[in-house]
Structure 1
Amino acid sequence: MTPKRILVLNGHPGQTSLSKSLVAAYAEAAIKAGHDVRQHDLGQMSFDLDYGEGGYGSAKPLEPDLETFLSDLEWAEHIALSTPLWWGAIPAKLKGLFDRSFLPGRTFDTRNPNLIGMPRPMMKGKTARVILTSDTPAILLRLAYGNAVKKFISRQILGFVGIKPTKFTQFSPASHPKDAKVKSWLGQVEKLGAQAA
């Protein structure tokens, strides 16, 4: 297997979490398999998550953590993201990370729209794996909510800038899983990490 450049992001804002453990297992397995890994932990990142009222013409300067994240995103061939499902979506700080760092000229090109007038994505050639933890079972997420969070992440965020396909691994119920269940989940993400999948 050809080694890949992988950006690993823990998208849980807390200092300790199941998401953090899962993405750490992914990263460790990827490194052992010979992949080049750069890791980011949302809870350790310092930035103003509110985009504000400036607009793209006068956007806030990127804080060092955001600049490093964006540079690593440009470098990466594959992105592994872990996030909990909170109120049907992602944590506010994770949304803020995308709001602040996915900017025109760096992740999409508004000056050269495609045939239907949409900005051209600048992150083409990259793939993603999202490890989603929730208390909502996968079947209910699909039948009752139409997999809205998965569409939001894969199409409106990552896909918009050209990162595709985005594959999902969902673990639930995640609030109080038994140790044996967590061990099984860790084993699953270790296999994904080794394969850079």
Structure 2
Amino acid sequence: MSSQKILILSGHPGETSLSKSLCQAYMDAAEAQGHDVRFHDLSQMSFDMDYGHAGYGNTKPLEPVLDVFLGDVEWANHIVVATPLWWGGIPAKLKGLFDRALLPGRTFDTRNTSFMGLPKPMLKGKTARVLLTSDTPSVLLRLFYGNAIKKILSRQVLGFVGITPTKFASFAPATDAAEAKVKVWLDQAARLGAKAA
């Protein structure tokens, strides 16, 4: 297996979290297999989450931490995002990161559109893995909610800018999970990291 360039984002806004532990397990295993890994921790990133009154023709300047993150997105060929499921979506700060960093001109081209009027994605050739923690088991996410969070992340966020396919690994129920269960999940994340999958 050839070496991969992997960007890992711990998308939980708290300093300690299961999401961060899963990222660490994935990263350790990936690096042990010789993959080149860059890690970003949302809890340590300071930026204005609000896109504000700026438009696509007048974008708010990126804070240095966002510029580095976007550069690493462009550098990577595989992107790993760990996030909790909160109120059916992702944490506000993670949404703010996507709002601010996935910019026209660098991640999609509004001047070059498809026959459906969609901007041309500029990050093609990259794949993604989402490590999703929740209290809702995967089967209920599918039966009751139509996998809405997975569709949003895979189609409307990552897929919109050309990152495809996006594969998911779900870890639930996460709140108060037993230590033995967490160990199983960390081992699962490590196996994915070793394969850069």
Same fold (TM over 0.5): yes
Rounded Cα–Cα distance in structure 2 between residues aligned with 1:75 and 1:104 = 17
CA RMSD of aligned residues (A): 0.5
TM-score normalised by length of structure 1: 0.99
Gaps of 5+ in 2: none
Separation of aligned partners in 2, 1:131 and 1:14:
16
Q: 2:39 aligns to what? A: 39
What residue is the counterpart of 2:57 in the other structure?
57
Alignment of 1:62-101 (within 5 A): 62-101=62-101
Q: Residue type of the partner of 2:112?
A: N
- Secondary structure of residue in 1 paired with 2:182: helix
Alignment of 1:7-46 (within 5 A): 7-46=7-46
Q: Which runs of 4+ in 1 moved over 6 A?
A: none
Return the letter of the residue paired with 1:81: V
Deviations 1:101-129 (A, max 9, x none): 01110000011112221100000000000
Q: Which AA in structure 1 matches 2:110?
A: T
Q: Does 1:137 align with 2:137?
A: yes
Q: Deviations over 1:107-163 (max 9, x none)?
A: 000111122211000000000000000000111100000000000000000000000
What do residues 69-109 of structure 1 show as CA deviations (whole Å, max 9, x unaligned)? 00000000000110000000000000000000011100000
Q: The residue matched to 1:158 in structure 2 has which SS?
A: helix
Give the fraction of aligned pairs with identical amino acids, expressed as a percent.
68
Structure 1 segments unaligned to the other structure (5+ residues): none
What is the alpha-carbon distance in structure 2 between the residues aligned to residue 84 and residue 116 of structure 1? 33
Query: How much has 1:11 moved relative to structure 2?
Result: 0.2
Match for 1:143: what amino acid?
Answer: L
**2-side partners of 1:153 and 1:122: how far apart?**
17
In the alignment, which residue of structure 2 is the partner of 1:152?
152
Match of 2:168 in 1: 168
State the alpha-carbon separation in 2 of the partners of residues 6 and 164 from structure 1. 14
